[in-house]
Amino acid sequence: MKFSVIVIAVAVEFLILPFTECKDVRWKWQAGSTSVNKVSSDLNLGARTGGMVFKDTNTYNTFFLFGGLLHDPISNSQCFANDLWHVEGGGPSEKVLHQGTRNEGSKRGTGQSPVPRMLGASCGIAGGMFMVYGGYGDKGALGDTWIYDFGHEQWSSLEKLHFDMNHNDTSLISPPARSDMAAWCMHDRLVIFGGIGEKSETMRDMWEFDLRTLSWKEMENSVLLRSQIYFNHLTTWPEARNGATTWVKGKNLYLFGGNRVSNHDRKSIRNVGFSSDLYMYNISEGKWRYVHGRRETGRVAKFTFHGQHSRENEPGCRRGGAGIVDTSGNLWLFGGEGADGHLDSVSSVKPPKRLADLWHFDVLKNEWAFKGGFERGNSAGIYNGDKNIYYTGSQPGSRFDTMSVPAGNTILVYGGIGIDADGNEGLLSDFWEIDMHNYVAYFSATYPGTVFNLLFWPFLFVAVICVSFLYSRKFFEKFRNKRDIAYAPLTQE
Ligand SMILES: *[C@@H]1O[C@H](CO)[C@@H](O)[C@H](O)[C@H]1NC(C)=O
Ligand SMILES: *[C@@H]1O[C@H](CO)[C@@H](O)[C@H](O)[C@H]1NC(C)=O
């Protein structure tokens, strides 16, 4: 009887095991300073925000980084940058590819380079080229396109490239100047939507840049929408906005939130115009779909079911969040500026809160889950212990316009405007790794296998109970005895 109790205990263990395995998101502070506006000794990228990144798709965890708004340690002030870096996560280590105009003496290439800027759009072809379009610089919104050739180690403007390729420049078109646009980088093209224009107006036009022909084209439906001929036929098209978070999932482009109120006075940017709606654009169809979220602006977060997917959960409205697609094809959202769960975070007089919440959107269930980070906005970062070790206590502080890329099922996060260890706000220089690996592995193993789990584990449980019951009734004993008798003559010889 004792034996059967042990067997049942083991069976229960097996039953519970698939539901209790470690599935937490882990955070690792890898490099950079714990204070804002500091250049750390272990990362030369400096304190920066709004830089343009392009994931090096040939590798697991490297990316290219261009410009942004930088803290200049010499003048102790902020300035726009136009330096180009190759950054490898995991150390991290960094190598400058083009110094930009701040260090004129050591500049490589032809001497031409895009003017310093932040919040432009970038894309590229791994091993071939890096491109940047638009952004915000010393003279306001920009509308120029530049290509960096990795082979020749030099920048060229789109005009110059077309001139060199003997194209007739009269046909060369570019989208109107803007910054903070939604951008999706795919292997053969860059797609942009909206942004904030030269007169601080929010936009809703949509363009694509073909990386093979190096040419811009406005999306057909965007032209129709702008000319308003077929306005009524386009039942769904996101409202004009800037600072939306974006994800590329195959041929589907996702867009979340952003600011929907034109900012003619930059100082009056408040979060009443921030949104928390999720749209998807199907490239093959050329159409937008409304996927999830609240259509009204200025909505606070709903943390109804912690860690679980539910229709009751909603991330707060925001702009400037970071979006990453995991290997299961689901969407992760980290940080931004906007609203946490408190009603006081939506205000026309107070600045938006800086956020450090991590959300997971299950595209099949069409539901959000809060997965980690700080639930409260304006939270100071926690930098525990040695760098490069996963410490459960370490958490990146609240931030927006951070630079982030995926590395498998981890997110590399660098800088942004946010709150440091002492609660001060400024430009961050810290480099983090968010590891969702355990969660995604667990999730993709159980999610399609839910039926398997529901059938297999109870079946095993019942089977083990039956076997142990029969053992306790000495059911198997007669077989054993028979065998003993059958072999007995052999051993005696
Ligand atoms: C380029 O366009 C101009 C008119 O804008 C035309 O005169 C010229 O012949 C064109 N050149 C080529 C090579 O097509
Ligand atoms: C996108 O559009 C194509 C063509 O209509 C369709 O086959 C595909 O299923 C669509 N994808 C999604 C996710 O709706």
In a shared domain, residues 465 and 384: no
Spatial contact of 43 and 93, defined as CB atoms under 8 Å apart = no
- The two beta strands, 245-249 and 252-259, are antiparallel
**Is 486 a member of any domain?**
no
Residue with CA closest to ligand 1 atom 14: 168
Q: Return the ligand 1 atom nearest residue 166 CA.
A: 13
Count of structural domains, the chain: 2
242 vs 252: CA distance, rounded Å: 20
In a shared domain, residues 457 and 423: no
**Is 99 a member of any domain?**
yes
Least confident stretch, 32-41, 55-64, 166-175, 379-388: 166-175
In a shared domain, residues 80 and 8: no
The pLDDT-based confidence of 164 (bands split at 50, 70, 90) is confident
**Is 343 a member of any domain?**
yes
Spatial contact of 269 and 298, defined as CB atoms under 8 Å apart = no
The pLDDT-based confidence of 306 (bands split at 50, 70, 90) is confident
Of the residues 167, 170, 171, 172, which should be mutated to test ligand 1's pocket, given the most ligand atoms within 8 Å of the CB? 170
In a shared domain, residues 370 and 457: no
Reported as a single tens digit per residue, the pLDDT across 91-106 is: 889 999 998 876 444 4
Q: What is the mean pLDDT of residues 57-72?
A: 95
What is the DSSP secondary structure assignment for residue 20, as one 8-state letter? H
pTM, rounded to two decimals:
0.84
Write down the mean pLDDT value for the chain. 86
Q: Return the ligand 2 atom nearest residue 282 CA.
A: 1
The predicted structure's pLDDT at residue 67: 97
Least confident stretch, 59-63, 350-354, 444-448, 454-458: 444-448
In a shared domain, residues 1 and 114: no
**Is 491 a member of any domain?**
no
Spatial contact of 61 and 407, defined as CB atoms under 8 Å apart = yes
Residue with CA closest to ligand 1 atom 1: 168
- List pocket residues of ligand 2, CB cut-off 6 Å: 252, 282, 284-285
Percent of the chain having pLDDT more than 90?
63
The predicted structure's pLDDT at residue 492: 47
Residue with CA closest to ligand 1 atom 5: 170
243 vs 492: CA distance, rounded Å: 88
- Cis peptide preceding 114, ω within 30 of 0: no
403 has a pLDDT exceeding 80 = yes
Distance 291 CA to ligand 2 centre (A): 14
Q: What is the mean pLDDT of residues 412-434?
A: 97
Reported as a single tens digit per residue, the pLDDT across 307-360 is: 899 999 999 999 999 999 999 999 999 999 999 999 988 887 888 999 999 999
User: Which is more confidently placed, 184 or 270?
Assistant: 184
User: Which is more confidently placed, 400 or 8?
Assistant: 400
In a shared domain, residues 438 and 474: no
**Is 228 a member of any domain?**
yes
20 has a pLDDT exceeding 80 = no
**Is 490 a member of any domain?**
no
In a shared domain, residues 13 and 56: no
In a shared domain, residues 3 and 140: no
**Is 492 a member of any domain?**
no
Domain span including residue 13: 1-20+447-480
- List pocket residues of ligand 1, CB cut-off 6 Å: 168, 170
Complete DSSP assignment for 136-178: EETTEEEEEEEEEETTTTEEEEHHHHHHHTT--GGG---PPPE
Distance 236 CA to ligand 2 centre (A): 16
Distance 170 CA to ligand 1 centre (A): 8
Residue with CA closest to ligand 1 atom 11: 168
In a shared domain, residues 16 and 27: no
The predicted structure's pLDDT at residue 169: 61
| Ligand nearest to the Cα of 285, by number | 2
Distance 168 CA to ligand 1 centre (A): 6
In a shared domain, residues 33 and 164: yes
Query: What is each CA distance from 67 to 85, 139, 162, 337, 348, in whole angstroms?
Result: 9, 15, 24, 21, 31
**Is 487 a member of any domain?**
no
Q: Return the ligand 1 atom nearest residue 168 CA.
A: 1
In a shared domain, residues 346 and 463: no
Q: What is the CATH number of the domain that holds 249?
A: 2.120.10.80
476 has a pLDDT exceeding 80 = no
In a shared domain, residues 132 and 2: no
